[in-house]
């Protein structure tokens, strides 16, 4: 197959492209005009055969129409590019409007499969009760504008994609990875706690954190490209042996860096969030509402996470265990 990949030079994308090439696919990789692709190509050469089957397509997400010809000629598209930082308008431009533009190019093209790399954060996890299982039947967040700007943009991106499936008939498959970690990006994340310099506010600790090792995630996306009869479906991608937040932090402190930790117990998260919200309102925004009850409930709830559907339907297996993933991440840190 010839596969058009956005975000191919990123943390996940590099691993993904390598796996696609190893599986014998041809890859057209969208790379920004001013990005030096030398390092990317070299990184592929380190572990992949078939680098010659990787083509660099120069273009940008905000002007993706310029690459229309290359995209429309491919058998599949994997849209893995996403901005993760910046304000809501910038995130919407990169994650929502760009997605809309790419989706608009699919009708009438040779594309038989459109894989959108979304996020596990899109669910309304805050609406679930303690101990409930979050799976693909959980509804999307009903009020995503109350979450962080990145999550809001990812929910909006998905809505745009599902709408395009309905109105344009886009052969959509959605992949919703948990927190992706691996060499080059450690396992610490906001699911464990909030960092203020060298201080970490550990939020809870006993909750399981929905993580996936980068190669495991790439394998799931590659599987979603070729799996038969999965159009119109979404798949959660999280590994089997999910660690607790405490476990991730313990490993991070032991093998990556020393951090001062201030534990915020689960029972105090709601009250602290309410206080933060109140202060934000009272001071008319002197400090941002980093914590709100709504955000905290979605971020640090004690839930179970299911990856059963991806295993059953895509035939995916997370090959790298969490401890092995941590070891690989630390060895490259």
Partner 1 sequence: MSRKLRVALVGCGQIADAHLQEINKIALAEIVGVCDRQVDLAEQAAARFDVPQAFDDLQRMIAEVQPDVLHIATPPHTHCGLAIDALKQGLHVYVEKPFTLDATEAEEIFEVARNVGRTVCVGHDQLFDPVWEACRARVKAGELGRIVHVDSIQGYDLSGPFGKAFASEPQHWVHRLPGGLFQNVMSHAMYRITDFVPDREPAIWATAFAPVSDAGTPTELRVMLRGQDVTAHLIFSSTIRPVQRVARIYGTKASLEVDLDGRTVRAFRKLTAPGPFAKIQAPARHCGEAARTLARHVLQFLRGDIHYFAGMNRLFTLFYQSILDNSTPPIPPREVCRVTGIMDRVFRAYQEETDKSRNQTGSDTRELIPAGLLT
Binding site for partner 1 (CB under 8 A): 32-35, 60, 62-63, 85-90, 92-93, 96-97, 100, 145, 152-153, 156, 160, 279, 282-286
Distance (Å, whole) CA 304 – CA 236: 12
Report the residue number, 88 or 330, with the smaller CB distance to partner 1.
Answer: 88
DSSP single-letter state for residue 25? -
How far is CA 255 from each of CA 90, 213, 330, rounded to the nearest angstrom?
35, 17, 7
With 0-12 / 13-18 / 19 or more C-beta atoms within 10 angstroms meaning exposed / middle / buried, residue 93 is: middle
Q: How far is the CB of 150 from partner 1 (least distance, A)?
A: 12
Q: How many CB atoms lie within 10 A of CB 9?
A: 23
Q: How far is the CB of 149 from partner 1 (least distance, A)?
A: 8
Distance (Å, whole) CA 251 – CA 238: 19
Query: How far from the centroid of its chain's Cα atoms is residue 177's Cα?
Result: 5
Distance (Å, whole) CA 5 – CA 57: 10
Distance (Å, whole) CA 57 – CA 33: 9
Q: How far is the CB of 104 from partner 1 (least distance, A)?
A: 13
Report the residue number, 3 or 96, with the smaller CB distance to partner 1.
Answer: 96
Report the residue number, 81 or 179, with the smaller CB distance to partner 1.
Answer: 81
Q: How far is the CB of 66 from partner 1 (least distance, A)?
A: 8
3-class state of residue 171 by DSSP: coil
How far is CA 199 from each of CA 82, 191, 268, rounded to the nearest angstrom?
28, 15, 18
Q: How far is the CB of 261 from partner 1 (least distance, A)?
A: 27
Report the residue number, 8 or 325, with the smaller CB distance to partner 1.
Answer: 8
Report the residue number, 168 or 259, with the smaller CB distance to partner 1.
Answer: 168
Q: How far is the CB of 303 from partner 1 (least distance, A)?
A: 26
DSSP single-letter state for residue 9? T
Distance (Å, whole) CA 32 – CA 75: 22
Q: How many CB atoms lie within 10 A of CB 151?
A: 22
How far is CA 309 from each of CA 70, 104, 140, 233, rounded to the nearest angstrom?
33, 29, 17, 10
The answer to whether the Cα torsion of 231, 234, 237, 240 is positive or negative is negative
Q: How many CB atoms lie within 10 A of CB 69?
A: 10
Q: How far is the CB of 57 from partner 1 (least distance, A)?
A: 15
Report the residue number, 85 or 331, with the smaller CB distance to partner 1.
Answer: 85
Q: How far is the CB of 154 from partner 1 (least distance, A)?
A: 12
Spatial CA neighbour of 178 closest among 272, 241, 223: 241
Q: How far is the CB of 105 from partner 1 (least distance, A)?
A: 17
Report the residue number, 281 or 327, with the smaller CB distance to partner 1.
Answer: 281
Report the residue number, 174 or 223, with the smaller CB distance to partner 1.
Answer: 174
Report the residue number, 130 or 284, with the smaller CB distance to partner 1.
Answer: 284
């Amino acid at each position: 197959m010839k596969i058009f990949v956005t975000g191919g030079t990123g943390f996940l994308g590099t691993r993904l492209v390598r796996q696609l090439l190893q599986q014998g696919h041809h890859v057209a990789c969208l790379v920004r005009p001013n990005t030096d692709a030398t390092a990317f190509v070299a990184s592929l050469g380190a572990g992949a055969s078939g680098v010659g089957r990787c083509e660099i397509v120069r273009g940008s997400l905000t002007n993706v129409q310029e690459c229309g010809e290359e995209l429309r000629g491919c058998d599949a598209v994997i849209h893995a590019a996403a901005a993760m930082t910046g304000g809501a308008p910038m995130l919407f431009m990169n994650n929502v409007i760009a997605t809309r533009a790419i989706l608009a190019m699919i009708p009438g093209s040779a594309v038989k499969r459109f894989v959108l790399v979304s996020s596990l954060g899109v669910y309304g996890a805050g609406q679930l009760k303690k101990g409930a299982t979050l799976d693909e039947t959980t509804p999307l967040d009903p009020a995503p504008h109350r979450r962080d700007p990145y999550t809001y943009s990812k929910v909006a991106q998905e809505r745009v994609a599902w709408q395009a499936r309905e109105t344009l008939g886009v052969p959509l498959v959605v992949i919703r990875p948990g927190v992706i970690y691996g060499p080059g990006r450690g396992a610490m994340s906001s699911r464990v706690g909030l960092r203020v310099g060298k201080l970490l506010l550990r939020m809870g600790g006993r909750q399981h954190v929905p993580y996936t090792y980068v190669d495991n995630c790439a394998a799931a996306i590659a599987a979603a490209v070729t799996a038969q009869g999965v159009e119109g479906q979404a798949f959660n991608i999280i590994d089997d042996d999910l660690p607790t937040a405490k476990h991730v932090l313990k490993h991070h402190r032991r093998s990556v860096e020393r951090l001062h930790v201030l534990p915020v117990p689960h029972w105090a998260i709601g009250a602290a969030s309410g206080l933060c919200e109140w202060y934000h309102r009272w001071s008319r925004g002197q400090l941002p509402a980093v914590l709100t009850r709504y955000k905290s409930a979605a971020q640090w709830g004690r839930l179970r996470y299911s990856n059963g559907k991806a295993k059953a339907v895509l035939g995916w297996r997370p090959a790298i265990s969490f401890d092995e993933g941590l070891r690989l991440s630390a060895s490259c840190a």
